Amino acid sequence: MENKKFNFKENTAQALLDSRLRKNLKFAMGAMIQKRRAVFSNAQELEKLRVLGNSIRRRALSKLPELLEKLENKCTENGIIVHWAETTNQACEIVLEIMQKHKADKLVKGKSMVSEEMHLNKFLEQHGIEAIETDLGEFIIQLAGETPSHIIVPAIHKNKDEISKLFHEKIPGTPYTEEVEELNAIARKTLRKMFYEGHVGLSGVNMAAAETGTLCLVENEGNGRMCTTVPPVHIAVMGLEKVVEKLEDIPPLIRLLTGSATGQLITTYVNMITSPRKAGEKDGPKEIHLVILDNGRSKILADPQLRQTLQCIRCGTCLNHCPVYTRIGGHAYGFVYPGPIGKILTPQMEGLEKAGAMTTASSLCNACEEVCPVKIPIPELIRRLRNESYDLNGTVQGHGYKKHFMETAAWKAWELVNRIPALNAASTKMAGLFGHMLPKAGPLKEWTHTRTKPVFAQKSLHETVKEQGVAHE
């Protein structure tokens, strides 16, 4: 999806024209917000839990190198083979090598955003390996040839009718049906076979405990468990920030994650993976690999303020509550991670030059911060990234995303007007006198697309208070 012609404004304009998308999103988001609210109905309890979640994540990040080392040691002790990848390409190569070593040409995949970040499916396809998505949502969008539009519900942009049509057209011998049960059964039947045919299974990791070398995976469909137990080889991919210190750190995070993501107290399946199949055990893979990916994360970690981005547990609730995301959907963002978390994560991973425009698409309404289970101050980080996008002379400072000389000059002028009382009085006076004659040009042109021009008062408050004799000191 790294579209070379990426133009955020064009994308959003197009998404907004898609009334079906708007309808699908509005419906789905409404339901998800309701469910979350129901499970977190006790505000005090939720707040306590969020404080705890925040402190667990902050503690982990504060000693991340140490914890990662410990995780590696523990995993190795347990018989899990650990690999490190600095770039997404290295991570892909590692997966490929494992596949080739086992002469495997089919990979069954559980849902994993990191593998999306790696663009793994495309990479494997180029090397003659078929990657099969087994999460229902991922399966749907794979059939459609699309990418996920939400980090938890990848096919949220599609409604039942669209899925019915897709199954009918893309799965050979499938009659058209709109029955949800039947659709589920079709997917299940199609996928079941794959688990046995797939030589290697791949999954993400929701969190990993350094203390014990345990990989934790939550899911509802059971396909994740199939991917991690049926094939003889299991590869887990994780971003390096996913580690926590202790096993006991995991339950509160699961509670926050599932409550925020799907409004559940707990998911149907919680997988805790500590080692490959041991002697005498009847199931489980014979070999487990853990690929730990950096992809810019250690740089983010180095900045104490931006580091908070890495607290994220990928629950997706900030997307559901974001008024911008709900209007344009995930694809308009043009990158793997959409919505509020995408707005702060993507520009840091991909650079402001490439993805900085995403930071402008926020009204800073604070809804994301209000719901984030681990208390990431997303609006504050958006502001920080906006600051970094310019320098004082209006020239690009290496990583600035746009050279906006005019904008910089305009803000300088704004500062003078608002710092020097005489200038302020004069400009307010001008607005009152001539505001109605302002041409619908520049910013006003955009504003007046769907709104009438702002009205400027004939007499400012400054003038009125003077006339009315309000005291001044």
Partner 1 sequence: MNKNRPEKVYFFGTCLIDMSYPEAGMAGIRLIQREGVKVIFPPDQSCCGQPAYNSGFPEEAKAVARKQIEIFNKDYPIVVPSGSCAGMMKHHYPKLFENDPDIKRVRAFSSRIYELTEFLVHVLKIKLADKGEPVTAAWHSSCHAAREMKVIEDSKSLIRQLKNVRLKELENEHQCCGFGGTFSIKHPDISSAMVKDKIEDIKNTGASIVLSGDCGCLMNITGAMDYHKISIKGQHIAQFIWERINGE
The residues that touch ligand SF4, with contacts defined as CB under 6 A, are: 260, 312-318, 340-341, 371-374, 376
Taking the complex as a whole, the smallest distance from the CB of residue 146 to ligand SF4 amounts, in Å, to 21
- The answer to the question of residue 403 lying near partner 1 (CB under 8 A) is no
- The answer to the question of residue 389 lying near partner 1 (CB under 8 A) is yes
- The answer to the question of residue 473 lying near partner 1 (CB under 8 A) is yes
Rounded to whole angstroms, the Cα distance separating 235 from 473 reads: 71
- Looking at residue 455, the DSSP 8-state letter turns out to be P
- Phi–psi pair at 394, nearest 5 degrees: 80, 15
- The answer to the question of residue 7 lying near partner 1 (CB under 8 A) is no
Rounded to whole angstroms, the Cα distance separating 400 from 386 reads: 9
Taking the complex as a whole, the smallest distance from the CB of residue 152 to ligand SF4 amounts, in Å, to 8
Give whichever of 51 and 457 is closer to ligand SF4, judged by the CB atom: 51
Rounded to whole angstroms, the Cα distance separating 206 from 273 reads: 11
Residue 468 interacts, among ligand SF4, partner 1, none and using kind-specific CB cut-offs from 5 to 8 Å, with partner 1
Rounded to whole angstroms, the Cα distance separating 228 from 351 reads: 34
Residue 317 interacts, among ligand SF4, partner 1, none and using kind-specific CB cut-offs from 5 to 8 Å, with ligand SF4
**Are the CB atoms for 72 and 280 separated by under 8 Å?**
no
- Phi–psi pair at 423, nearest 5 degrees: -65, -40
Tokens of 125: 């396809």
- Residue 375, phi-psi category: left (phi > 0), alpha (psi -120 to 50), beta (remainder): left
Residue 144 interacts, among ligand SF4, partner 1, none and using kind-specific CB cut-offs from 5 to 8 Å, with none
Tokens of 450: 């769907």
Rounded to whole angstroms, the Cα distance separating 298 from 87 reads: 11
**Are the CB atoms for 111 and 151 separated by under 8 Å?**
no
Tokens of 150: 């939400």
- The answer to the question of residue 303 lying near partner 1 (CB under 8 A) is no
**Are the CB atoms for 134 and 121 separated by under 8 Å?**
no
| Planar angle of CA 339, 227, 270, nearest 5 degrees | 65
Give whichever of 29 and 120 is closer to partner 1, judged by the CB atom: 29
Look up residue 332 and give its amino acid.
Answer: A
Tokens of 208: 């990993």
| Residue in the block written with tokens 């050279």 | 403
- Looking at residue 212, the DSSP 8-state letter turns out to be T
Residue 327 interacts, among ligand SF4, partner 1, none and using kind-specific CB cut-offs from 5 to 8 Å, with partner 1
| Residue in the block written with tokens 């663009």 | 119
Taking the complex as a whole, the smallest distance from the CB of residue 360 to ligand SF4 amounts, in Å, to 19
- Choose which of 199, 360, 396, 403 interacts with partner 1 (CB under 8 A): 360
Taking the complex as a whole, the smallest distance from the CB of residue 339 to ligand SF4 amounts, in Å, to 7
- The answer to the question of residue 4 lying near partner 1 (CB under 8 A) is no
Please state, as a whole number, how many other Cβ atoms lie within 10 Å of the Cβ of residue 127.
Answer: 13
Residues of span 422-451 touching partner 1 by CB under 8 A:
424, 428, 431-432, 435, 443, 446-451
x/- map, 195-234, partner 1, by CB under 8 A: ----------------------------------------
Taking the complex as a whole, the smallest distance from the CB of residue 366 to partner 1 amounts, in Å, to 4
Rounded to whole angstroms, the Cα distance separating 61 from 345 reads: 16
x/- map, 327-356, partner 1, by CB under 8 A: xx----------------------------
- The answer to the question of residue 27 lying near partner 1 (CB under 8 A) is no
Classify strands 214-219 and 269-273 as parallel, antiparallel or unpaired: antiparallel
Residue 372 interacts, among partner 1, ligand SF4, none and using kind-specific CB cut-offs from 5 to 8 Å, with ligand SF4
Residue 417 interacts, among partner 1, ligand SF4, none and using kind-specific CB cut-offs from 5 to 8 Å, with partner 1
Look up residue 211 and give its amino acid.
Answer: E
Give whichever of 67 and 318 is closer to partner 1, judged by the CB atom: 318
Please identify, among the stretches 58-66, 223-231, 242-250, 413-421, the one whose residues bind partner 1 according to the rule CB under 8 A. Answer: 413-421
Give whichever of 166 and 207 is closer to ligand SF4, judged by the CB atom: 207
- Residue 385, phi-psi category: left (phi > 0), alpha (psi -120 to 50), beta (remainder): alpha
- The answer to the question of residue 383 lying near partner 1 (CB under 8 A) is yes
- The answer to the question of residue 412 lying near partner 1 (CB under 8 A) is yes
Residue 318 interacts, among partner 1, ligand SF4, none and using kind-specific CB cut-offs from 5 to 8 Å, with ligand SF4
Burial class (CB in 10 A: 0-12, 13-18, 19+), 340: buried
Residues that bind partner 1 (CB under 8 A): 9, 12-13, 16, 22, 323-324, 327-328, 360-367, 369-370, 380, 383, 386-390, 392, 407-408, 411-412, 414-415, 417-419, 421, 424, 428, 431-432, 435, 443, 446-457, 459-466, 468, 470-473
